[in-house]
Amino acid sequence: MDVGLQLVLSALAVGAIYGSMGIGYVVIHRMTGMVNFAQGDIAVAGAFGAVVASAVMPPLAAIAVGAVTGAVASVLMYHFAIFPLRKQGLLVQTIVTLGVGIVIRSILQLIFGTGPRQFAPITSGEPVSVLGAALPQQALWVIGITVVAFIALVLFFDRTLTGKALSACAVNNYAAGVVGINLTVMATIAFAVSGAVAGGVLATQVPTSFITVGAGFTLGLKGFIAAILGGFDKLGLTLAGGFLIALVENVAARGISTAHAETIVFALLIAVLVLRPQGLTRKVVADRV
C-alpha cells in the first residue's frame, strides 16, 4: 500500500470536516465581522441531532436533520445572545460566543452524557481501493456532501439575490442598510447557513468515527485555522486549508506521535498568525468601511 497516498486519502474526509467548520466561520465573518467560537459546539449539536433522528430515520435523512439542528442552534444563538449585544461591539459579541459554546456543551452533556455516540453508515461494505490505498465508503459521502455544499454556497453567493445581498452586507453594512437590505434577516440567514453546513457535514462523519459532546472545542479550533488560511474571506481556500490541516495532522501522527499531532497543528496556527496572517490569499484582506 502506498503510505503517502493513504495519508492523503485519509486527510480528504477529515479535511472536509475542518473545512466545513472553517466555511461556517467565514460565512458569519463576511456578514457580521465577528468570529463565532461556538461553531464547533453548534456542529456537535447538529451531529447529536442526527444521532437522535437515526433511531427512526434512515442515515441520509438523519444527516439532513443534523443540518437543520445545526442551523436552528446557530440562529437561536444569534437572536438570544448576539443580536441583543449588537451595539456593544464585535469584541463583546465574539467573547459571548465562547460562553454560548460552553452552554451548548453543558446541555448536550446533561442530555447525552460523556460517552461516544454513533449511527449506521449511509452505505456499508468494504473500503474502496484507490491505487492500493483504502477509503471507507462513508468517507466518500463526507467528501461528496462537502463538495456539494461548497458548490451550493458558491452559487448561492454568486447567482441569487439573497446571496448578493449578503455579499453587499459583507462589503459595507451601513450602505446595504441604506438601500433597504434588512441586516437582521441577512445575519439570520448567515448564521443558519453556517450551522447547517457544519452540522450536516459533521453528522455525515459520525458513522465512521464516534462523536462526543466534548469534541466541539477542538473541531472549532481546527476550523478556525482553516478559516485563517482562507483569509476569512475565500470559501475555496478555507476548504483547502481544512485539507492541509488534516494532512499535517496525519503526517505528524505517523511520523512523530499520535499524542503530539494536535499540538503540531496548533503550533501551525501560531506560525500562520505570525508569518502569514492573511492566510493563503495573495494579499491582506482590507478592513470593511
Going from the N-terminus, what domains does the chain have, and what CATH number goes with each? 3-275 (1.10.3470)
pTM (2 decimals)? 0.90
Confidence of residue 286 (pLDDT cuts 50, 70, 90): very low
Phi then psi for 211, rounded to 5 degrees? -120, 140
Query: Which residue in 69, 16, 70, 68 sits closest to 38, CA to CA?
Result: 70
End-to-end C-alpha distance for the chain, whole angstroms: 53
Q: Distance between CA atoms of 276 and 131, rounded to whole angstroms?
A: 35
Q: Alpha carbon of 106 to those of 45, 168, 195, 213, 214: distances in Å?
A: 11, 37, 18, 8, 9
Nearby residues of 223 by Cβ (< 8 Å), 6 or more positions away: 18, 19, 20, 21, 22, 24, 25, 39, 40, 198, 242
pLDDT at 78: 95
Cα angle vertex 32, ends 187, 173, to 5°?
90
Query: Which residue in 81, 86, 87, 85 sits closest to 37, CA to CA?
Result: 81
Secondary structure (H, E, C), the chain: CCHHHHHHHHHHHHHHHHHHHHHHHHHHHHHHCCCCCCHHHHHHHHHHHHHHHCCCCCHHHHHHHHHHHHHHHHHHHHHHHHHHHCCCCHHHHHHHHHHHHHHHHHHHHHHHCCCCECCCCCCCCCCEEECCEEECHHHHHHHHHHHHHHHHHHHHHHHCHHHHHHHHHHHCHHHHHHCCCCHHHHHHHHHHHHHHHHHHHHHHHCCCCCECCCHHHHHHHHHHHHHHHCCCCCHHHHHHHHHHHHHHHHHHHHHCCHHHHHHHHHHHHHHHHHHCCCCCCCCCCCCCC
Cα angle vertex 155, ends 154, 161, to 5°?
115
Q: Distance between CA atoms of 218 and 18, rounded to whole angstroms?
A: 10
Cell 444521532 -> residue: 51
24-82 pLDDT per residue, tens: 999 998 888 889 999 999 999 999 999 999 999 999 999 999 999 999 999 999 999 99
Q: Distance between CA atoms of 76 and 104, rounded to whole angstroms?
A: 11
Radius of gyration from C-alpha coordinates of the chain: 18
Higher pLDDT, 83 or 125: 83
Confidence of residue 285 (pLDDT cuts 50, 70, 90): very low
Confidence of residue 169 (pLDDT cuts 50, 70, 90): confident
Query: Which residue in 70, 31, 39, 27 sits closest to 224, CA to CA?
Result: 39
194-211 pLDDT per residue, tens: 999 999 999 998 887 889
